[in-house]
């Protein structure tokens, strides 16, 4: 198969990726989940005009001169309204969050008043309408404040509560199964023998997928045999994974079993090998409802490909309206040579120059096995295929990596 351009590969992965079914979830479980429908307010907020301060509710027209004396006829605290209306020459003691009584149109703060028994004396003329929050100044019943496809922030949860939605219609979270392959891999904490290395890729991939709202489960490390890899693919299906992510065994070596096992299980391959660096030997296919992303084993390649392809797929299945990564503009921190025909995603550190411009500087080594350098990078600097040489200070596109 020919190398596929990155944009075409992403389009193939996202083709037909419809949002998963909706479910009703309690508000305190809804952080970072995705709304399945527009959400309209079930009430008006504030429901009545309310005082923004502790002081006295008055009629502004009564208090245009300093020294005005008004008779205090009652008290309103938050949650304890009064059913008496204010008449000329009267005031009502009011506290923050109290419902402004009928007839009042202004609140004077207590610091600007003196009290003499049941009389309040205004030290300064009142400013008409001050310190009152009108009914509905935040929102009105029926207002759509949260949109289908929104990933709910912490502030959105407070807003939904205020709109009186204890349960929210959310998309089911995608289930992502992670399978590592490789006879040489050992879990951290073990003492590697000759040629053995520690399993690392999955830690970043689980975290990345969960950060994007997926539920993840681990299929462990399969030996480099057709049987072991095939058995793990079957387990992913049995566990009803929406996405199976494999790492390693993706290239052309005698021990690279992933492609063969996927095909033996009936996966329809959409592509194998992309015109990008890192991550050329990446594959994608489908087995029924399960989508498979076969990532290269090199740790940097697996992470960069997961970031570029797995994340948008998780977002699409989650029903998010913002599926694509957001490219940002920066300037190059150093000269770069012309690029070849593979789109390059250089790992880059970010800083600001004296004029406040964002500067992206590739980390010193770009080999796709180097986790130390990946961890130093805050962004991917995109070099399009066949990009000409570029000087330090010239504009470039970046994708910021998660913190």
Ligand X SMILES: Nc1nc2c(c(=O)[nH]1)N[C@H]1C(S)=C(S)[C@@H](COP(=O)(O)OP(=O)(O)OC[C@H]3O[C@@H](n4cnc5c(N)ncnc54)[C@H](O)[C@@H]3O)O[C@H]1N2
Q: Which residues bind ligand X (CB under 6 A)?
A: 180, 182, 184-185, 197, 199-202, 247-253, 256, 278, 280-281, 296-299, 301, 368
CB of 343 to ligand X, least distance (A): 14
Give the whole-angstrom CA distance, residue 115 versus residue 277: 76
Residue (168 or 180) nearer to ligand X, CB = 180
Q: State the sign of the Cα–Cα–Cα–Cα dihedral 78, 79, 82, 86.
A: positive
| CA-based nearest residue to 132, from 111, 112, 106, 153 | 106
* The two structure tokens encoding residue 191: 């003492």
Q: Does 19 bind ligand MOO (CB under 6 A)?
A: no
Give the whole-angstrom CA distance, residue 272 versus residue 269: 7
CB of 219 to ligand X, least distance (A): 12
Q: Does 278 bind ligand MOO (CB under 6 A)?
A: yes
CB distance 347 to 311 below 8 Å: no
Q: Does 51 bind ligand MOO (CB under 6 A)?
A: no
CA 59 to chain centre: 48
Q: Which residue is nearest to ligand X (CB)?
A: 297
CB of 275 to ligand MOO, least distance (A): 11
Give the whole-angstrom CA distance, residue 195 versus residue 128: 81
Among ligand MOO, ligand X, none, the one that 248 touches (CB under a kind-dependent 5 to 8 A) is: ligand X
Answer whether the bond into residue 46 is a cis peptide, omega within 30°: yes
Binds ligand MOO (CB under 6 A): choice among 216, 229, 246, 298: 298
Q: Does 301 bind ligand MOO (CB under 6 A)?
A: yes
Among ligand MOO, ligand X, none, the one that 149 touches (CB under a kind-dependent 5 to 8 A) is: none
* The two structure tokens encoding residue 112: 């600007």
Q: Does 248 bind ligand MOO (CB under 6 A)?
A: no
Residue (98 or 278) nearer to ligand X, CB = 278
The length of the chain, given as a count of residues: 403
Burial class (CB in 10 A: 0-12, 13-18, 19+), 399: middle
If you ran DSSP here, which 8-state letter would residue 325 be given? Answer: -
Among ligand X, ligand MOO, none, the one that 285 touches (CB under a kind-dependent 5 to 8 A) is: none
Q: Does 279 bind ligand MOO (CB under 6 A)?
A: yes
The contact set with ligand MOO (CB under 6 A) reads 277-280, 296, 298, 301, 368
């Amino acid at each position: 198969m020919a190398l596929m351009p990155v944009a075409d590969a992403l389009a193939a992965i996202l083709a037909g990726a419809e949002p998963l079914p909706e479910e009703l979830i309690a508000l305190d479980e809804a952080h970072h989940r995705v709304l399945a429908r527009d959400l309209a307010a079930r009430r008006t907020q504030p429901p009545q005009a309310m005082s923004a301060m502790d002081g006295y509710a008055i009629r502004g027209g009564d208090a245009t001169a300093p020294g005005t004396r008004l008779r205090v006829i009652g008290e309103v605290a938050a949650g304890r309204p009064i059913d008496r209306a204010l008449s000329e020459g009267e005031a009502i003691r009011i506290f923050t969050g109290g419902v402004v009584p009928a007839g009042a149109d202004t609140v004077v703060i207590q610091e600007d008043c003196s009290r003499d028994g049941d009389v309040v004396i205004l030290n300064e003329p009142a400013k008409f309408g001050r310190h009152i929050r009108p009914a509905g100044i935040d929102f009105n019943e029926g207002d759509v404040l949260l949109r289908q496809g929104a990933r709910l922030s912490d502030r959105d949860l407070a807003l939904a509560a205020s709109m009186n939605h204890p349960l929210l219609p959310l998309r089911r979270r995608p289930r992502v199964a992670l399978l590592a392959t490789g006879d040489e891999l050992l879990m951290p904490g073990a003492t590697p023998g000759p040629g053995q290395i520690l399993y690392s890729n999955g830690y970043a991939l689980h975290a990345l997928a969960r950060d994007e709202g997926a539920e993840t489960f681990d299929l462990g490390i399969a030996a480099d045999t057709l049987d072991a890899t095939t058995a793990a693919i079957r387990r992913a299906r049995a566990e009803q994974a929406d996405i199976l992510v494999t790492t390693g065994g993706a290239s052309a070596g005698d021990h690279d079993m992933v492609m063969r096992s996927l095909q033996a299980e009936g996966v329809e391959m959409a592509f194998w090998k992309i015109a990008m660096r890192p991550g050329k030997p990446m594959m994608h296919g489908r087995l029924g409802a399960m989508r498979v992303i076969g990532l290269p084993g090199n740790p940097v390649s697996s992470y960069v490909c997961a970031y570029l392809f797995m994340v948008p797929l998780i977002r699409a299945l989650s029903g998010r309206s913002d599926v694509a990564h957001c490219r940002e503009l920066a300037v190059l921190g150093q000269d770069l040579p012309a690029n070849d025909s593979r789109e390059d995603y250089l790992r880059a550190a970010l800083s600001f120059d004296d004029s406040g411009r964002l500067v992206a500087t590739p980390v010193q080594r770009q080999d796709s096995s180097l986790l130390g350098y990946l961890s130093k990078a805050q962004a991917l600097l995109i070099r399009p295929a066949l990009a000409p040489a570029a000087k330090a200070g010239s504009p470039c596109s970046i994708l910021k990596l998660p913190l």
